[in-house]
Amino acid sequence: MRMRIAPIVLLTACTTEVPTSVATGQLEAWTAGPSLPTPRANHCSAAIGDWVVVIGGNYKQANGEFTKTDEIHAAKLTGGALGAWQLAGHTASPVTECSATSDGERLFIIDGIYDREQDGRQVFAGTFDEGTLSTLTSIATLPGAVISSEATVRDAQLLVMDTLLPNEGDQTVTLRRPIDTDTWTTDDWGIGFRAQAEYAFSERFAYTLGGYLGGEGNPASTEVFVASIENAAITNIRSTAPLPEPVMFGEAVAVDAWVFVVGGRSQVFGGTASTKVYAAQATADGTLGAWAEVSALPMGRTNHELVAVGDFLVLPGGADAMGGDANVLIARVRN
């Protein structure tokens, strides 16, 4: 069984501007941005400079069937206003449950559930220039399936979060490799299987938040773990302040000294898409203080994406149930 792991998120935003403001743990009210040209949930997204890139995904048609897309759309954020979406390129075949990140020039698309099976377990890369993506080429093959996880680039290495089912290893791990060398190293978090968890990366720390476990009934978790990132390696894993409630299928992001968890739901099957946004401040050693609710989403979001672009968070797509839609939300995170 291939599991979707929501990460956190996003996410690894690269920006061309040095922020003149700083995150305080508060968000301004979420506002609507231009709708996506194609509705989608179960997609992946990344920030490249001041561009937001949205990749693949699926949506539910009126007849109840799902349509999967290979479209890659991009829009530029200027002063908090998102420009028109434009078609930047196409994935190797229609895809859901991918992960994405960038090194500031190249877009990396990691695994996913493709229409064409041989496209799975690949790391595709393409150069991005002002809304246009070059032809994607495979630069690496993953050692196993990594479905809807999270990724980042640190010290010229690609880091990818993954989880293994209890009968397939019962691990949460970080896979890492130099970008231009096809040799993977595995760092085990020592916390067992965590499905649909959220993941976040700051400059020095990585976080695994919530999700559900592999025991009978798939118990939901509020647990949060932090690890240090040292020369791209994951070290010193320890627990930190738990979430106020279980969250899975959501998104998380680290901005300055704060970690945010946005949307999601509290049940493996069914459940209500959440409007809640939680924030916690990181100390010097990466551990988190108490969580607090901040500016709620104007609509429930699950199976969505989240990226940080400069002083703003951008949330493209997702669902308030399971169907996928074209909504885009924006909130200022730095003041």
How far is the C-alpha of 120 from the C-alpha of 95, rounded, in Å?
Answer: 9
Residue 8: per-residue pLDDT: 35
Of residues 267, 332, 326, 260, the one with CA closest to residue 299: 326
Digit-coded pLDDT (tens) for 3-29: 333 333 333 334 444 556 999 999 999
Which token pair is 12? 């690894």
Superfamily of domain 31-332: Kelch-type beta propeller (2.120.10.80)
Digit-coded pLDDT (tens) for 66-103: 999 999 999 999 999 999 999 999 999 999 999 999 99
**146 contacts 162 by C-beta, under 8 angstroms:** yes
Which token pair is 171? 């691990």
Q: What is the mean pLDDT of residues 149-156?
A: 96
**Which residues pair with residue 175 across a beta bridge?**
160, 186
Task: Say yes or no to pLDDT of 300 above 90.
Answer: yes
Residue 322: per-residue pLDDT: 67
Q: Give the count of beta carbons closer than 10 Å to the beta carbon of residue 63.
A: 5
Residue 269: per-residue pLDDT: 87
How far is the C-alpha of 49 from the C-alpha of 243, rounded, in Å?
Answer: 31
What's the distance, CA 274 to chain centroid? 17
**50 contacts 78 by C-beta, under 8 angstroms:** yes
**Owner of token pair 């100390």:** 283
**Owner of token pair 């896979």:** 175
Q: In the chain, what are the domain boundaries?
A: 31-332
Residue 2: per-residue pLDDT: 35
Of residues 145, 239, 231, the one with CA closest to residue 189: 239
Q: What is the mean pLDDT of residues 234-256?
A: 98
Q: Give the count of beta carbons closer than 10 Å to the beta carbon of residue 127.
A: 13
Q: Give the count of beta carbons closer than 10 Å to the beta carbon of residue 227.
A: 23
Digit-coded pLDDT (tens) for 158-189: 999 999 999 999 999 999 999 988 799 999 99
φ, ψ for residue 27, nearest 5 deg = -120, 140
Residue 134: per-residue pLDDT: 98
How far is the C-alpha of 104 from the C-alpha of 288, rounded, in Å?
Answer: 28
Percent of the residues in the chain that have a pLDDT greater than 70, as a whole number: 94
